[in-house]
Structures are given as C-alpha cells and as structure tokens.
Structure 1
Amino acid sequence: MKDKIIKIVKENVFELLDKDIDKDTKLISTGYLESFDVINLIGLFESEFDIELDLEKIELSSFETVGLMEELICSHV
C-alpha cells in the first residue's frame, strides 16, 4: 500500500514529481504539501482505496508522511 500512496502523492503534487520520498519524508512541515493538496489527496484516496474519510475527524498531521497516510487509510478499510 505504501508504494501506491507514494505513486498517488508524486503524481498529484507537482513539487514532488521528481523527488525521492519514502514513508518518513516530511511533507507538510517542509512545504511540499499545502491544504489544497491534502483535500485533493483525500478524494484520490477515497476513490483508489474505496473508503470514505470523515473530514471532521481527519487531522492535518495525518498527511505529514506517507507512513501516517497509510495508517489513516488502513484505519478506514
């Protein structure tokens, strides 16, 4: 799942297209991800993994790393 998340993130966040990222790469605090990117990723993850994320319960910090995104997605499968 981690590789699939990395692929989705890299394909949809222009700043990351040619960057090497892994499950622990900081994405928000380094400025790679902004709130608009997170909203876009939520929709993409819902479609790709056939889940429904509760926007009221999602913390922005859940998108700091791919590892945290994976935890978020796994908690909704």
Structure 2
Amino acid sequence: MIEEVYKLLKENVEELEDVDLKEDTSLIASGFMDSYEVIKMLEKIEDTFSITINLDELNLEDFEKPKNIAKMIMTKRG
C-alpha cells in the first residue's frame, strides 16, 4: 500500500517528483502540499482505490505523512 501512496504522491504533487519519500516524510508542514494538493490527492485517492472520504471526516493529519495516507485508505477499504 505504501508504494502505491508514494506513486500517487509523485505523480500528482509536482514538488515531490524528485523527493526520496519515506513513511514519515512530512508533506504539509514541510510545504510540499497545501490545501489545493490535499484536495487533489483526495480526489485521486477516491478514484484510484474506489473509496469515498466525506469532507466532514477529512483531517489534515491524515495527509501529513505517507503512512497516514496509507492507513486512511486501508481503514476506508475495510
């Protein structure tokens, strides 16, 4: 799962193309992603993994690190 998250991030967030991503790479606090990129990633994640993430459930902490994104996806997939 984490490799799929890395791939999605690198394909959809220009600032991450040349970054050696790790599970704990800070995405928002380091400035790699802003609110626009979070929404863009949210849409890509929903499409790629056939899940729905309600905006009222959205927590920016879920997008702070690749491992958080992977955990959120796995939780939504059941």
Deviation beyond 2 Å, 4+ runs, structure 1:
none
Using the TM superposition, give the Cα deviation of residue 58 of structure 1 relative to its aligned residue in structure 2, in angstroms: 1.1
Displacement of 1:22 in angstroms is 1.1
Offset, 1:54:
1.1
Cross-structure match for 1:59: 59
5+ residue gaps, structure 2, are none
Alignment size in residue pairs: 77
Q: CA RMSD in A?
A: 0.6
Matching residue's letter, 1:10 = K
TM-score (norm 1): 0.96
The equivalent of 1:9 in structure 2 is 9
Alignment of 1:1-77 (within 5 A): 1-77=1-77
What are the ranges of 5 or more consecutive residues in structure 1 without an aligned counterpart?
Answer: none
Higher helix share: 2
TM-score of the aligned structures, taking structure 2 as reference length: 0.95
Identity %: 34
